[in-house]
Amino acid sequence: MIGPSTTDLPVGFQVQIDHRYVRRGDLRTLVGGSPLRVLKLSDAALGMTSDDGRIEVCDANTRALARKLLDAGIAHPRPMTGPQADDVTVVIPAYQNQANVDRLIAALPGLKVIVVDDASPTPLTVPDDDRCRVIRLDVNGGPAVARNAGFDAADTPFVAFLDSDTVPRGEWLMMLLSHFSDPAVGIVAPRIVGLERGRHRRRNPVSAYANQFSSLDMGTHEGPVRPGTPIAYVPSAALVVRREAFGRFDETLRVAEDVDLCWRTHAAGWVMRYDPIAHVAHDHRESLRGLLDRRRFYGTGAAQLASRHGGLVAPVMTSVPLAVAVIALLSRTRIGFAVAAILSGWIFTRLRVPLAGVPARDAIAARNVGRALGFGVLQVWSAVLRHYWPLSLLGLIFSARFRRWFVEAAVAEAVATWLRTRLDDPSSPMVEPLGYSVMHRLDDLAYGLGLWQGVIAGRDWAALRPVVTR
């Protein structure tokens, strides 16, 4: 897999500056992205930008400015055109579940469809028309093998992968295809939402939790897909790939093959985008056993990813000063609070330097110190409750102080995560806090069990090793 031959944005392509990164309506200084960046627009750059923060590519200068803002994650694409539906083949990997395959094909009118039957005991069938065909594998090889087989059979410049338990909504494909007018884009993915099963059907607590907090849902904010950022990967349940950017799924993986593909695609120099405006519904598991077993299965993939991508899988990624400040803060001692205050002040001072000349730079620096500390605390809580919980059992057995701390962390982390999700998407129906807290803790236990299962089976502890930089 090689990178794009050109990254030149076409004339007429537009980008929109994210207003979350604009201070008091002043477009001159933009603060945001991941990692945090400060961009100061020159008078010439401001002249290329509309009052609402939109830039249209019309020459070399606007092309360079638009690309810089996209690469920084401070602006998002607003393409006007893109490939057409005739340029796409939908590949559906499937094992048994004929009813789901029929439902999905019915939701894809007019599109070319290839169903890859992964050696189902009863062969799958498709409608008898020119747009649909089925490929049957003799041996069950798993989703990666099936997707690759479907890709090889397609002859279009773009391929959309949809799992058989998904149902696209509205103009999902048109929204995703428009991103490919940027020649640097290799993969685009929609938001995965829960499949509504009927207005009058009452959802049980498990399905309510799965629909609201699915690990397949990357959230409400659009952005570039990059390892080590809030959108580190996109799930293969629904994504569209450019043919020349597709590095093939690793057929030795039966789990986490989508994460591996995304990270290899990024390493090859391609851009990946996540667009939550486009929706694909997923038929989540409704039984507690089914949900937790799936979470455990996902956890087993961490060890295999660590063997391929090293520290990108680390349960904790932080710097030495921040790590010491967080640990000191969590100690809840006078000395700890003093150490945390000193280190926070030092981090604050360092953050002020690149913000020189930025209005309200002290407020921006302070806010980002607070966010870093908050995220650091959540990382520690999550690691103890999710990744390292088998080790935490020893502390629970032998230390009364640790037991108190563990219970407080379990409650505080669940409340903080629930509130963050609520603030992020206030319009969505929410699971009530107590039910969420119980399900969230069970979710973490299942994932952690799978993680340790994979680590022990592979005899590789890299997935448990934190990454701490200077």
- Domains present along the chain, CATH in parentheses: 14-77 (no CATH), 85-285 (3.90.550.10), 317-469 (no CATH)
The vertex-445 CA angle with 428 and 330, nearest 5°, equals 85
Q: What is the pLDDT of residue 356?
A: 82
* pLDDT tens sequence across 128-159: 888 999 999 999 999 999 999 999 999 999 99
- Which pTM does this prediction carry? 0.94
d(CA 20, CA 4): 30
d(CA 31, CA 171): 33
Place of tokens 């100061």: 40
| Assigned token pair, 408 | 């407080």
Q: What is the pLDDT of residue 203?
A: 62
d(CA 363, CA 340): 19
Q: What is the CA radius of gyration of the chain?
A: 24
Residues 6+ apart with CB under 8 A from 346: 321
φ and ψ of 223, to 5 deg: 165, 175
pLDDT grade for 57, boundaries at 50, 70 and 90: very high
Q: Check the CA dihedral 222-227-232-238 and report its sign.
A: positive
Q: What is the pLDDT of residue 342?
A: 97
What percentage of the chain carries pLDDT values higher than 90? 81
Better pLDDT: 213 or 70: 70
Tally Cβ neighbours within 10 Å of residue 455. 20
Alpha helices by DSSP H, listed for 76-230, are 98-106, 143-153, 172-177, 205-212
Q: What is the pLDDT of residue 200?
A: 45
Stretch 107-124: mean pLDDT: 97
d(CA 447, CA 291): 11
Better pLDDT: 454 or 23: 454
Q: What is the pLDDT of residue 198?
A: 58
For residue 202, is pLDDT > 60? Answer: no
d(CA 304, CA 327): 29
Q: What is the pLDDT of residue 286?
A: 80
* pLDDT tens sequence across 402-452: 999 999 999 999 999 999 888 887 777 678 888 899 999 999 999 999 999
For residue 293, is pLDDT > 90? Answer: yes
Task: Cis check for the bond before 143: say yes or no (omega within 30 of 0).
Answer: no
Torsion of CA 336, 341, 342, 346, to 10 degrees: 140
Q: H-helix or E-strand containing 76?
A: strand 75-77
d(CA 380, CA 375): 9
- Please state at what angle helix 320-331 crosses helix 334-352, rounded to 10 degrees: 150
Q: What is the pLDDT of residue 12?
A: 95
d(CA 36, CA 316): 18
Strand-strand pairing, 166-168 and 88-94:
unpaired
d(CA 118, CA 132): 17
d(CA 67, CA 57): 10
Q: For the chain, what's the residue count?
A: 470
List the one residue out of 156, 164, 224, 137 whose CA is nearest residue 189. Answer: 224
Span of 7-11, 164-168, 178-182, 351-355 with lowest mean pLDDT: 351-355
* Average pLDDT, rounded, for the chain: 93
